[in-house]
Amino acid sequence: MSVVYEPIGVIRSSFTKLEGMPIQPVGAGESLGELQLNDEFAPGLVNLDGFSRCILIYHFHKSRGFKLKVTPFMDTVQRGLFSTRAPKRPNAVGLSIVEILSIEDNVVRIKGVDVLDNTPLLDIKPYVPRFDAWPEARCGWLETNAEKAVTISSDDRFTRGDIP
């Protein structure tokens, strides 16, 4: 089976290099960006302005290859890939939740963006706390490491040839 997606637009940000980027939106703080949708998708933005946040689904276009065990940014221990948010994955799909600042025509201005400039945007979904937040959820090995996402930036561990 083959699955093919066509981007609906691009994500624009100030991050032009993978190294030094925030590793999660919570660490992106005030970083601004834009979702520039292809013109034909602009009508799909109607009513999105009633939401304060949205979920971005995008393609890690600079990601090549993967390993099933990785050392994540917030740890020094190898973990199973699917227990991490490492960008090198069998299907290079990323997900971020960002704040919506404004919408005009086919452009959504956002805050808290942790994505490389010109990243292909696959989809936008409204963030709904009642549906998407589970405060009682367990967080595995991240129970003691999640707060690091606010201060840790990406390095070259997922762009080096050895893919740790």
pLDDT of residue 160: 57
- Tell me the CA distances in angstroms from 59 to 36, 51, 95, 117, one per residue in order: 15, 23, 9, 12
Strand partners, 94: 58
pLDDT at 6 over 80: yes
Q: Is the pLDDT assigned to residue 147 strictly greater than 50?
A: yes
Domains of the chain by range and CATH?
9-150 (2.40.30.70)
pLDDT at 145 over 80: no
- Give SS3 for 101: strand
pLDDT at 154: 61
Q: Each residue of 79-115: pLDDT tens digit?
A: 899 988 888 889 999 999 999 999 999 999 999 999 9
What local confidence, expressed as pLDDT, does residue 23 receive? Answer: 63
**pLDDT at 162 > cutoff 50:** no
CA distance 57 to 116: 13
pTM value?
0.83
The pLDDT assigned to 150 comes to 54
Report the C-alpha dihedral over residues 121, 11, 151, 54, rounded to 10 degrees.
Answer: -60
